Homo-oligomer: A and B are copies of this chain.
């Protein structure tokens, strides 16, 4: 499966005094969605870090169509949008009550070597991880 949804219940501490979820907090949900997605494919981000691959964010965007509210019944979907040996991006969609798209977003990542603190070529250094990501992306295109 090329797209993964994770249930999110907005927390009270994530609201602001406008009575809606503070816009910056959506990126925490995107993180939960993409890492759970990878994990269910056998690629736990925790173990990736231990192996020596970090996925720092180099660019993000988010479009807010409707405001998420405290205790809403949300599902946050993620899928791989673009994949190269040096870059990776995910797209997201937040759906309320199983029917209403309230937000969409995108995050761009590089692969970082935690020792050298430098970007790396994933295909060269971790070919098995690269293949797994490629398969995940390919599934999307079917």
- Closest Cβ neighbor of A114 among chain B residues: B18
Number of copies: 4
A32's nearest neighbour on chain B, judged by CB, is: B11
**Are B17 and A13 interface neighbours, CB within 8 A?**
no
Q: Which residue of B lies closest to A44 (CB)?
A: B71
Some 30 contacts from A to B, beta carbons below 8 A apart, are A9-B32, A11-B32, A12-B16, A12-B22, A12-B31, A12-B35, A12-B45, A13-B16, A13-B24, A13-B25, A13-B27, A13-B28, A13-B31, A17-B18, A17-B70, A18-B56, A18-B112, A23-B27, A23-B56, A23-B60, A24-B25, A24-B26, A45-B71, A46-B70, A56-B67, A57-B64, A58-B64, A59-B63, A60-B60, A60-B62
